[in-house]
Structure 1
């Protein structure tokens, strides 16, 4: 609440909430749209693949660019262009020329623009609120977002029973335009230093990648995030087919679709409320070590469920522990990264987790689903999180669990340093 009293953070928070509202409508409508057009589980998985691949292709470049340019300007331009791109789907539908390839192209283009927005956003938040309030700020954004995740998907599910999914994407287009206006109104600088001069992009990219690879905390969380995202990508790619073929929840004219999306949101808000307290009490490394095994078990239980009520309960539990792991990774990375490297390091980490893990998981899930069924695909990919559990418990996180993690402007403890030959060493 103290953060929301800050007028600039309130504008930032409202921009994220408005944009998320529109994105949640698209989140429900787009898979339903492509599944309705094609009737194919693999095509539905392709939508999720198209959403993740842009991070792999453009993440490093976007991060380096966002550290050099004015972050506010990057966010505003990305929002405005996204409004136009998304608006093309309801326009094409209105003229009767909408096709499945068109939907995939839009999914790909909107995510390219989101990569540039996200790169600037990662660095903008620490500059806006200060490092001491990063955990609270991330929870405020995540908590507000998950309230919307409870409400909006259910409403979108109801709207899909009343109208075609294509026109609903107009809501997302308008939300991007409103978000751009709110971000433009923020008076506080969204970077602590002066944006860098043009040129030297490859050097900047290398600097961010080297920092990620040599910082034990950031590197470990990135690998864990990649494995976690593989499971999440496979699950989201097969969510609608799984509901349809396993639980009997139809993609249209079934109110339970909105309930299942809302359950995931309810779990997310519980995680947002608990995370600041648990991170202070346990420390972020312990949160990861304890909640990652729970995420693997909850995802497996969700896939094994055959009754929709049981599946909803397991889905809510999975949402809590899954969100805890995600919030920990983001907060730790922002805390230990210097401001001048924020966009580069965070987009490089997200490129590996979301850009690699998400589409690979979605594609594997789609292929397994086509060969067997969506339920088998979800069970198989949930089991992959177990690899992340083993990696986490053998990683430096176990050694660091009992000591405080310094911010970027503090001196790392000996356990957090690694013997890297000079002069290429980049300190945390």
Structure 2
């Protein structure tokens, strides 16, 4: 094959940014086990454990619009550095307070909220930085590679978190999480951010927010995939909010052992599989078909998760669930990157993610409120209902028609 047909390299700046984000995601994956276990150990409450998931998810709902707008106004790389350091400080405060014997449950909730809020701005800047580092023709490859690289590390994170907790405590895992945020900030200092084209109009915060919202509302495919993402995340909030409780109470997993980390690692395996599947699926099927199929597979996997009691079946159900859920998510992200103008990348992607992921704290909050009165199986069954309703909405909408047009244009 001639060199003229060789794909344009993604570049060293892209690779370094992916490495930095992967390190941050690794630490976050370790903390995925540690944070809920700290609350479950100290309170013994399923409701409080689910509430923590809601608290960690809430910043996207509260700050998503603002973060997207300011990320398109600020330099993106420095924004990522500062917010990574803020997340480091918030997370490090928990093991520090524990070792000083001053830690309270309220402290854990506040630190989790502050760390998650910092990462909202971190992600908003990252959404805008990625398209500026790679050729537009290779954007889908870049999104897939970033997700795949991060997911490989994320798979090991929960398992390592379980090992650390078994050998030491969840506070050691949170200390590692804080350290990864610091390493992320250092790595990002070496990323060379391209100079953005000067704005032709004076920045105005609310106008910038409005432009992002109007683009999402005005683009039929982005609008529909965002709505589908909201329902997807409500079900995801129910699942993740009760994952520790389900693993311990239904599957008999020892909360002090490393086996619990395998349940979280299963989510990483599912995401990795989805990164390999989506490019192949995208070449054969439209974004609408992929979204509908992903929702139907999720409904089946959650049903198995509810009915099974053998840990191996539970882990397999989580892998299938997360494969389908991540396929729906990455499908929407890729479409947004492809159709959104560069000057709107930060606010459109963060706003869409806020609207889509805003369902997660709602789902986790519902799980925390209902698990006591109606029980664990009935609460988890709500996730099946949400996904089924979401699939029906997607099928009856214009999703398949508008996604077919994009699929034809991209050929």
Give 1:79's match in structure 2, choosing from 67, 71, 84: 84
- Of 236, 243, 249, the match for 1:245: 249
Q: Does the Cα contact within 8 Å between 1:366 and 1:377 map onto a contact in 2?
A: no
Match of 2:385 in 1: 383
Structure 2 residue runs of 5 or longer lacking an equivalent are 1-5
Q: Match for residue 162 of structure 2?
A: 157
Equivalence for 1:353: 356
Alignment of 1:369 onto 2:371: yes
Q: After TM superposition, list the pairs within 5 Å mapping 1:195-210 onto structure 2.
A: 199-210=203-214
Could you list the per-position Cα deviations for residues 244-289 of structure 1 after superposition, in whole angstroms to 9, with x for gaps in the alignment? 1111112212x32122222222222111112112112223222112
Aligned-partner Cα distance in 1 for 2:333–2:160:
29
Q: Spell out, residue by residue over 1:191-239, the C-alpha distance to the aligned partner (whole angstroms, 9 max, x if none).
A: 6423687751111111111111111011101110000000111111100
2:185 is aligned with 1:183: no
Q: 1:94 and 2:99 equivalent?
A: yes
1:235 to 217, 233, 239: 239
Do 1:295 and 1:318's aligned partners in 2 also have CA atoms closer than 8 Å?
yes
- Alignment partner, residue 45 of structure 1: 50
Q: Which one of 308, 321, 324 corresponds to residue 321 of structure 1? A: 324
CA distance in 1, matches of 2:380, 2:299: 11
Greater fraction of residues in helix: 2
Match of 1:417 in 2: none
Q: Which moved more, 1:239-248 or 1:173-182?
A: 173-182
Q: 2:200 and 2:52 mapped to 1: Cα distance?
A: 36
Q: Which residue is 1:403 aligned to?
A: 405
Give per-residue Cα distances to partners, 1:335-381, cap 9 Å, x unaligned: 11111111111111111111x20100001111121213333222222
Q: TM-score, normalising length from structure 1?
A: 0.90
Q: 1:129 Cα deviation (Å)?
A: 1.4
TM-score where L is the length of structure 2: 0.94
Alpha-carbon separation, structure 1, partners of 2:171 and 2:7: 39
Which residue of structure 2 aligns with residue 413 of structure 1?
none
> Is residue 264 of structure 1 aligned with residue 267 of structure 2?
yes
Give the Å deviation of 1:20.
1.0
Residue aligned with 1:49, SS = helix
Aligned length: 405
* Moved >4 Å (runs of 4+): 1-5, 195-199
Q: Does 1:169 align with 2:174?
A: yes
Give the 5 Å matches for 1:102-181: 102-181=107-186
Tell me, yes or no, if the aligned pair for 2:292 and 2:394 is still in contact at 8 Å.
yes
Deviates further, 298-307 or 35-44 = 298-307
Contact 1:61 1:205 in 2 (8 A): yes
CA deviations over 1:39-74 (Å, ceiling 9, x no partner): 111111111111111111111111111111111111
The answer to whether the 8 Å contact 2:88/2:182 transfers is yes
